[in-house]
A and B are shown apart, each in its own frame.
Chain A
Amino acid sequence: MTETTASIPAAGPQRSSLTGLVLRNPLGLLATALIIVVLLTAIFAPLIAPNDPAAVQIFKVNVAPGDGYLLGGDGSGRDIFSRLVWGARNTLIGAAIAVVVAALLGVTAGLFAGYFGKWYETASSWISDALMALPALIVLLALYQALGASIYLSMGIFGIMLSPGFYRLTRTLVKGVKNELYIDAARVSGLTDMRIIIRHILLVVRAPVVIQTSIVAGIAIVIQAGLEFLGLGDPSMPTWGGILQNGFQNMYNAPLGILWPGLAISITVASLVLLANAIRDAMQTGAAPSFRTPAIPAKYAAATPAPTPEEGVLLDIRDLVVAYPDGNGWREVVHGVTLQVRKGDVVGLVGESGSGKTQTAFAVLDLLSTGGKVLSGSITFDGEDLTKKSETEMRALRGRRIAYVPQEPMSNLDPSFRIGAQMVEPLMNVLGLSKAQAKARVLEMLARVGLPDPERTFNAYPHQVSGGMAQRVLIAGAVASSPDLLIADEPTTALDVTVQAEVLELLRELREEFHMTVVMVTHNFGVVADICDRVAVMKKGEIVEENAIGALFSNPQHPYTRMLLGSVLEDTEVRAYRAPAAKGNAA
């Protein structure tokens, strides 16, 4: 996975462009506009409302829209429209109180808990869990007598109950950032904790907190309306929930009365959510893969005829082009690779990151990452073109005749299943063994790869074994079906050097024993020299040189190969120590 992950830096765009991105998204623009309209309505309520929201006109009880009452009259003969306008103000103040309390408490506690940890985190997490276990509405109901009819006080309390959302979000973000090396660098540079939090950490927390604020504001509006709908608000104050309650009481006479306040609530809350989504999308731009598959350009359409099978060649790759969707086109990561692998050989596929070596290997397995596609060329395995096979046919081949050993041992074992279970399953599927047979085979293989207590490893979960053991388990799983071709993607890169030597030795033995052909993806020329018979050197999606091992090292043909070999740090003269002349500081 080195090539696909390491080259994409995980960075969000800048703040200035974030705002721009939100506003360029049509839904984001609409949401922002609606929120501004609601805000302006709330601020200028006295100017906008045509009538006194409390003025009762007895002959206008439940009157239909029109006649001076734009949206009709409520059950007491008051103007619904004017009450909605004033309700916007009261509702937004209530929501603002809840949001401010929640954000202040939650973010502050989250920053400290995440950054300093220890007892502080234990205590605040416990409080947060406890608050989250409380059904908020019931608590507010229970406290109604204590809090009095003031909805604002209730919303303040509700803010406390909403703070765990901010707390957990902030704490998680801070913990993620705290161990980033740039925080260590800032500490080494002599920044105080306070400055690190302000300069480095708040920056990371900012956008997610804005998103959370938007969502929490929505929740607060709904809950506040709920309380008022139950009659727990101040009856003298027009609010959206109160208007809805009045509509509910007169529902059978004037059904429209419940429509307006509900719409006001829903549209406002929907705008807040849409705004949150727009910000989230803007933060993820670049990372978001497009799911529309672009049309394949005509130049790839010409089908390359698969080569006539040659005696002794197990894998024959011709003019292979692998690409990933990129906007409306395709981005090639492998441009026309041709490689023959003879039966029994160990062929190294060497290159630096981004050279396309892993993508070539994944193409053979038909396991390219989401969206990846072989656009042209052929991959002939034992006389059959793999690029023409269906997924079902490939599956029959994978795990039986073609096997794979990954780079990272730990992340390639399913953490939820015992090691044995995840090795037995493929053997039963692919080889059609019974459960007992499969288990016997797995135990035999675990012993073969040098695990001292196979039964115990069989029953262990992945997190209970070391990285070196996990890699042996993965090799055992790959070799268990006696495959003809083993594709190993940097199988020793994540291992310590002494473990690497042992694993290479194991691969060498297994290759003899099972008569396997091996394609070994690696960046390490030492590994190549140790185990490979032939080598293909890749650069930017192409093979620049392919040669037998001896010839490649003794007489490299391509300048790129020579440059790479020249970069190997070996047999250099050691440096002689000289004390610096003067006790001078670095420039």
Chain B
Amino acid sequence: MLTYLLKRIGAGIILLVLVSTVTFALIYGSTGNVARNILGESASAADIAAKEHELGLDRSLPVQFADWAVHAVQGDLGNSWTRNQRVAPSLASRFPVTLSIVAISVVIMFFVAAVLGITAAVRRGIADQIIQVISVVGFAMPNFWLGLLLVLLFAVRLQWLPPTGYVSFATSPASWVASLVLPVGALVFSGIASASQQVRGAVIDALNKDYVRTLRARGVSPRSILYRHALRNALPATLTVLSVQFIALLGGAAIIEQVFAIPGLGSLTVDAALQGDVPVLMGVVVTLIITVVIMNILIDILNAWANPKVRLQ
């Protein structure tokens, strides 16, 4: 079990190193005239050279990367090229916003999908058809469009909720909740649709196993068969779905934050992408990969708990 975990952590670190190297090479390698972009068209050649030297762009790519990596390991992700800010602190202030949106979405998605999926698996019939419809609609409606429709309906027309903006939890818990309802709603809908389908399939599979008949023959109650045995065996498949959805939500949050003007990682990334703020982009990529790696390790641990074959290998 321990070696299994160490292996997973090792694989996560390799992934992190690999992705940051490739990303660095791609985005630094292609930033042709950053200095000119920053200084404006009127800047002299000497000024540009000076700026490039200041940013360290006059060095070779491997040297730049080594320099970046050495600092990054110590938690220093450099300075933003377009704002007068250090990258690490600005990530630190924005990341929790995004993470809370994504985490809340994952939790809601998990519970709603579990209830819907299990109901559909056990009852079939109507519940099943409802899930089928939701899953098609959820898949087909882009979450940013759904977000806009929600704003039009609940904020503009009904005026129940604020259309955009974000209030931190510390400022006012009630306003914080109000500011998250629409973005989270827009974000989870498609996730619920696909996850409930997968839960349904996994539970049906588990209920069709031979050992279910044997347990029933021993007088074990349908409750225990569903909640103790079938769900436990459906868990690995469900966890895989969760991990895929978590990654998808991280991306989806970037667009949703733009729709609702939420100061999270997503809006920072979009701005940095449009302006070519390379250190910020590198910081975002590294932060998100670490998040995904941690999430996947947590899921692996849960998976090992549910599946003795994994745990005891």
Using a CB–CB cutoff of 8 Å, the interface residues on chain A facing chain B are 1, 126, 129-130, 132-139, 141-146, 215, 218, 222, 225-226, 229-232, 244, 247-248, 251-252, 255, 258, 261-262, 265-267, 269-270, 273-274, 277, 291, 365, 367, 370, 391, 395-400, 402-404, 406, 408, 411-418, 422, 425-426, 429-430, 461, 463-464, 474, 477-478
B209 adjacent to A411 (CB under 8 Å):
yes
1/0 per residue, CB under 8 A from A, across B244-272: the answer is 10011011101100110000000001101
C-alpha spacing A251/B229, complex, angstroms: 51
A337 to chain B, nearest CB (A): 20
Q: Are A146 and B26 in contact (CB under 8 A)?
A: yes
CB distance from A293 to the nearest CB of B (A): 11
Chain A residues near B156: list those with CB within 8 A.
252, 255
In Å, the complex CA distance between A135 and B243 comes to 11
- Judged by a CB distance under 8 angstroms, whether B1 is at the interface is no
Residues of B within 8 A of A (CB): 11, 15, 18-19, 23, 26-27, 29-31, 124-125, 132, 135-137, 139-142, 144-145, 148-149, 151-152, 156, 208-211, 213-222, 224, 228-229, 232-233, 244, 247-248, 250-252, 254-255, 258-259, 269-270, 272-274, 276, 278, 281-282, 284-285, 288-289, 292-293, 296, 306-309, 312
Q: Is the beta-carbon distance between A367 and B247 smaller than 8 angstroms?
A: no
Check if B210 sits within 8 Å of A134, measured CB to CB: no
Q: Which of A1, A133, A395 contacts B210 (CB 8 A)?
A: A1
Which residue of chain B is the closest to A292 with respect to CB atoms?
Answer: B125
- Chain B residues whose C-beta falls within 8 Å of the C-beta of A408 in the assembled complex: 210
Docked-complex contact B217 and A367, CB < 8 angstroms: yes
Please state if A273 and B285 are interface contacts (CB–CB under 8 Å).
no
B255 neighbours in A (Cβ, 8 Å)? 137, 226, 229-230
Residues of A within 8 A of B19 (CB): 130, 134
Cα A277 to Cα B133 with chains together (Å) = 11
A411 touches B284 (CB 8 A): no
Alpha-carbon gap, A430 to B11, bound state (A) = 48
The residues of B that contact A474 with a CB separation of less than 8 Å are 214
Distance of A139 Cα from B209 Cα, bound (Å): 41
Query: Which applies to chain B's interface (DSSP): helix, strand, loop or mixed?
Result: helix
A/B interface sample: 26 pairs, CB < 8 A: A133-B293, A135-B247, A135-B251, A138-B269, A141-B269, A142-B281, A146-B26, A146-B29, A218-B139, A226-B144, A229-B144, A232-B270, A255-B156, A266-B137, A269-B140, A274-B136, A291-B124, A365-B217, A399-B217, A399-B219, A412-B214, A414-B209, A414-B229, A426-B220, A430-B219, A463-B309
B273 engages A426 (CB within 8 Å) = no
A139 with B141: CB separation less than 8 A: no
Residues of B within 8 A of A416 (CB): 229, 232-233, 306-308
CA distance A416 to B282 in the complex (A): 42
Specify the chain A residue showing the minimal Cβ separation from B282: A142
A145 touches B148 (CB 8 A): no
Most B CB within 10 A of own CB, among A132, A134, A215, A267: A134
Given A225-B142, A429-B224, check contact A142 B273 (CB 8 Å): yes
Q: Which listed residue (A137, A273, A403) contacts B140, Cβ 8 A?
A: A273
Which residues of A lie under 8 Å from residue B210 when comparing CB positions? 1, 406, 408, 411-412
4 more contacts with CB within 8 A, not counting A139-B285, A269-B139, are A141-B269, A144-B274, A367-B213, A430-B218
Distance in Å: Cβ of B138 to nearest Cβ of chain A: 10
